[in-house]
């Protein structure tokens, strides 16, 4: 078996994708098309895609022996169309040769066709990797302007959710149910990761907007999970630090659940590395705030 260290994720992915994968795709690279693209948008070396199976084999050979994985736990699987599945999963990882163990959390957008994976975009929390926290403040900030039609999160949500959201909901806060929950699973350890209730979300955003602004967002993709009442969104944004005027690009994946015309869950994954580099290890609004 080539690359046995990725066998745990192979088993999880095979089980999650089921008959979307052709029979006999038992090893990791067997599951991919020859020209498949593997991307880590929140990787410590930046969002550099790995294109094609030869490049993927080189990458796996590079990390062989440096990382081992325990069995993966699949927490959620969302079928957004015949070809695309979004998975949330986690694993206990061991960094070699030290044997240092750490917990890692992931969300992946996987596109398949003709029994093989065409693209695999995996978002992970880089701050969980040993040694990354200590150098996170040195992360280079990408200040390049966004390409595409600039808009706002309110507009992206309104278009994506359509008539699932009541017409009287004028903005992001108004879209939340009284007991709606906001989650930021990849927030730095000193920052807020979960808020329950529209009032708490409103108070948080009131503080946040005095420190952080946005120079616009560009929608990347919208996926509807009709049988679960969910919408999944991918978008890019430019974040402005109002303290020093600096800006950086950020990428987002949000899982949004709606009931009775209001958002009951808004789980937003974003890269904590530029946040720490711009605002510090506790982010723009520390927990104690």
Mean pLDDT of the chain: 93
pLDDT tens per residue across span 143-160? 999 999 999 999 999 999
pLDDT tens per residue across span 199-234? 999 999 999 999 999 999 999 999 998 777 899 999
Q: Which domains does the chain have, with CATH numbers?
A: 4-130 (3.10.450.50), 153-279 (3.10.450.50)
Q: Are 84 and 109 in contact (CB under 8 A)?
A: yes
Q: Regarding predicted confidence, which is higher, 279 or 286?
A: 279
C-alpha distance from residue 215 to each of 148, 151, 266 (Å): 13, 9, 21
Q: What is the SS3 string spanning the chain? A: CCCHHHHHHHHHHHHHHHHHCCCCCCCCHHHEEEEEEEECCCCCCCCCCEECHHHHHHHHHHHCCCEEECCCEEEEEEECCCCEEEEEEEEEEEECCCCEEEEEEEEEEEEEECCEEEEEEEEECHHHCCCHHHHHHHCCCCCCCCCCCCECHHHHHHHHHHHHCCCCCCCCCCCEEEEEEEECCCCCCCECCEEECHHHHHHHHHHHCCCEEEEEEEEEEEEEEHHHCEEEEEEEEEEEECCCCCEEEEEEEEEEEEECCEEEEEEEEECHHHHHHHHCCCCCCECCC
Q: Regarding predicted confidence, which is higher, 226 or 123?
A: 123
Judged against a pLDDT cut of 90, whether residue 170 lies above it is answered with no
pLDDT tens per residue across span 35-65? 999 999 998 877 779 999 999 999 999 888 8
Mean pLDDT calculated for residue range 95-117:
94
Query: Residue 239's beta-bridge partner residues?
Result: 214, 248
Judged against a pLDDT cut of 90, whether residue 258 lies above it is answered with yes
């Amino acid at each position: 078996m080539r690359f046995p260290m990725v066998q745990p994720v192979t088993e999880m992915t095979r089980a999650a994708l089921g008959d979307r994968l052709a029979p006999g795709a038992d090893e990791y690279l067997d599951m991919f098309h020859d020209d498949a693209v593997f991307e880590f948008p929140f990787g410590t070396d930046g969002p550099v895609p790995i294109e094609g199976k030869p490049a993927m084999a080189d990458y796996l050979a590079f990390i062989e022996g440096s990382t081992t994985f325990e069995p993966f736990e699949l927490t959620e699987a969302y079928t957004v169309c015949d070809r695309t599945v979004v998975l949330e999963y986690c694993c206990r990882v061991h960094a070699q040769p030290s044997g240092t163990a750490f917990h890692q959390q992931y969300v992946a957008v996987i596109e398949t066709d003709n029994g093989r994976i065409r693209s695999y975009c995996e978002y992970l929390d880089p701050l969980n990797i040993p040694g990354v926290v200590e150098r996170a403040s040195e992360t280079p900030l990408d200040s390049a302007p966004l390409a595409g039609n600039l808009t706002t999160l309110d507009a992206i949500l309104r278009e994506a959710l359509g008539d699932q959201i009541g017409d009287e909901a004028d903005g992001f806060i108004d879209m939340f149910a009284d007991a709606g929950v906001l989650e930021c699973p990849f927030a730095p350890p000193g920052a807020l990761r979960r808020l329950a209730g529209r009032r708490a979300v409103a108070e948080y955003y009131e503080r946040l907007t005095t420190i952080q602004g946005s120079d616009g967002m560009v929608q990347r993709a919208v996926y509807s999970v009709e049988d679960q009442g969910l919408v999944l969104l991918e978008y890019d944004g430019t974040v402005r630090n109002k303290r020093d005027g600096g800006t950086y690009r950020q990428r987002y994946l949000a899982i949004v659940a709606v009931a009775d015309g209001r958002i009951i869950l808004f789980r937003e994954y974003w890269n904590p590395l530029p946040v720490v580099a711009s605002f510090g290890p506790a982010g723009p609004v520390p927990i104690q705030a």
